[in-house]
């Protein structure tokens, strides 16, 4: 029995994707470097299913129908390179390789070039949704060879989450388009998570609220415009009671957040392309700051600050906090979409941003009700420079910007850091300011480096001998 597709890498994501694909009526070959994991799958959840276990890569390749279609689900980086180095010689012209890991887009470009040299088709496939999504339907973001996508389009569309506006999968563009979109998705994810964590901190320290009370607030917010997966799981986290202590588990979790690198890559790429994404960057630096646990504990005893408590009625503060969170989340999406627009133009991805928003509507971590108006705004104006320049976001800025200012002010007065909210406010304030103080920066650059400047009252490029007064 020849398999329709093969999956290499039987960690949880690989296993669940293989089982998901099989459940849609396909025969799936599976292989893992360690034989035991493949055997566990074959004897366990795959028993009796159209899953063909293989215990060597040659046997795995031999079990696939032609043209062969192979999805690699191993750790990004050196692990992926090692597997591809073994697979490349075993495949034949016209076969398809897909990397479903969180690969850096530059690695995807390099691997795609190697595949082309060998006459193979290649896709860099961004996959979001975690273990549950992999089994029940993730958001899938493929890019690379369009003819390669045509070979697996039906399989991917049926495997993906079935969203409100169609399967959460589409061919995004050539080269590393798929992995670039997934990278920016994760950057937005970092920013939204940080903004929600800041709300938690403000409720806990500023309003002295219990986790159960906070869960009620997040539950209420999740019924409206901000409804989304990250809000949903935050409510569940706050309600979870530790069986050993009988208290909320969240209070016992060490306050150091880790990262796998995609948020950092998104920020680095934004800097390289001159894309303005300060909220995403702030979220990355917030995680880095959280890792300084011992230093923070020492500084807490040395550096004075105000009492971390808010004045005013709780309901008033919570209403303002909703507005602040709303604008911060929209800012994260806006910055991510702007970065994708710039990257698409620079790298020739030919991205359709309305389609990106559609793919993110279900299955992925940043799925949210906000993606409906986001897609509508992007579809209505192909040249939209920033989401805040379209409805309903113009009206929401008008409605909530005072709340965001008040929350940031309250937080700073109480000594509670809110980097995502602060950076979002500064970002939009800078964007809506017709004349920024960059004239002074350019004069400084010209003073010490003769970098020249332009004038507002005449055309041309100028340099001044500033010391010759």
Which residues are tagged catalytic? 182, 189
Alpha helices for 55-166 (secondary structure H): 57-62, 78-87, 105-117, 130-136, 146-159
> If you search the block for the tokens 């595949």, which residue do you land on?
115
Q: Which two tokens stand for residue 148?
A: 């390669």
Write down how long the chain is: 469
Q: What separation in angstroms does the CA of 127 have from each of 42, 44, 46, 361, 365?
A: 24, 24, 22, 13, 10
Q: What is the largest CA-CA distance in the chain?
A: 88
- What H or E segment, with its residue span, contains residue 29? strand 28-31
Cβ atoms of 180 and 266 within 8 Å: the answer is no
Evaluated on CA atoms 396, 401, 402, 407, the torsion sign reads: positive
Q: Which stretches of 414-437 are DSSP H helices?
A: 419-431
- Helix, coil or strand: residue 94: coil
Beta strands in 310-456 (DSSP E): none
Are 29 and 56 in contact, with CB atoms under 8 Å apart? no
Nearest to 283 by CA among 352, 195, 203, 361: 195
**Which contiguous run of DSSP H or E holds residue 189?**
helix 177-201
**Structure-token match 């045509």, residue found:** 150
Q: How far is residue 45's CA from residue 100's CA, in Å, rounded to a whole number? A: 21
Q: Give me 48's structure tokens.
A: 């009796």
| Residues 390 and 376: beta-carbon distance below 8 Å | no
Distance CA(278)–CA(258), nearest Å, equals: 20
What would the two tokens of residue 407 be? 């929350």
- Tokens at 447, concatenated: 């003073």
DSSP 8-state assignment for residue 368: B
Strands laid side by side in the 5-8 sheet: 51-54, 28-31, 5-8, 69-72, 96-99, 121-128, 139-144
| Rounded Cα gap, residues 366 and 360, in angstroms | 7
């Amino acid at each position: 029995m020849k398999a329709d597709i093969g999956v290499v890498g039987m960690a949880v994501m690989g296993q669940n994707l293989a089982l998901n694909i099989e459940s849609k009526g396909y025969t799936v070959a599976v292989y893992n470097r360690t034989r035991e994991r493949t055997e566990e799958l074959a004897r366990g959840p795959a028993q009796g299913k159209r899953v063909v276990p293989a215990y060597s890569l040659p046997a795995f390749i031999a079990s696939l129908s032609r043209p062969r279609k192979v999805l690699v689900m191993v750790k990004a980086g050196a692990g992926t390179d090692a597997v591809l180095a073994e697979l490349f010689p075993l495949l034949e012209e016209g076969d398809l390789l897909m990397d479903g890991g969180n690969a850096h887009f530059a690695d995807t470009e390099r691997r795609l070039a190697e595949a082309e040299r060998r006459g193979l088709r290649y896709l860099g496939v961004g996959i979001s949704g975690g273990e549950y999504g992999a089994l029940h339907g993730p958001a899938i973001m493929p890019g690379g060879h369009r003819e390669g996508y045509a070979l697996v389009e039906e399989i991917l569309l049926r495997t993906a989450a079935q969203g409100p506006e169609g399967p959460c999968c589409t061919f995004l563009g050539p080269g590393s388009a798929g992995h670039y979109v997934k990278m920016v998705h994760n950057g937005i994810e970092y920013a939204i998570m940080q903004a929600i964590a800041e709300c938690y901190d403000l409720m806990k320290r500023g309003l002295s609220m219990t986790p159960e009370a906070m869960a009620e607030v997040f539950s209420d917010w999740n019924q409206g415009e901000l409804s989304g997966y990250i809000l949903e799981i935050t409510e569940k986290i706050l309600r979870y009671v530790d069986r050993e202590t009988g208290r909320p588990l969240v209070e016992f979790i060490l306050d150091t957040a880790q990262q796998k690198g995609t948020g950092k890559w998104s920020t680095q790429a934004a800097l390289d392309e001159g894309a303005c994404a300060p909220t995403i960057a702030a979220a990355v630096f917030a995680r880095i700051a959280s890792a300084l646990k011992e230093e923070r504990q020492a500084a807490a005893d040395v550096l004075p600050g105000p009492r971390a408590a808010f004045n005013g009625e709780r309901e008033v503060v919570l209403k303002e906090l909703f507005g602040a969170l709303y604008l911060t989340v929209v800012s994260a999406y806006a910055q991510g979409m702007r970065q994708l627009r710039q990257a698409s133009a620079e790298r020739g991805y030919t991205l359709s941003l309305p389609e990106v928003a559609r793919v993110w509507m279900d299955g992925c971590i940043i799925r949210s009700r906000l993606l409906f108006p986001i897609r509508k705004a992007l579809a209505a104006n192909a040249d939209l420079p920033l989401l805040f320049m379209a409805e309903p976001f113009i009206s929401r800025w008008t409605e909530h910007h005072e709340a965001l200012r008040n929350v940031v002010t309250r937080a700073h007065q109480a000594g509670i850091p809110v980097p995502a909210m602060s950076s979002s406010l500064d970002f939009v304030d800078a964007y809506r300011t017709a004349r920024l103080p960059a004239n002074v920066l350019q004069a400084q650059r010209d003073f010490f480096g003769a970098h020249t400047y332009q004038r507002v009252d005449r055309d041309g490029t100028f340099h001044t001998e500033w010391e010759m007064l």
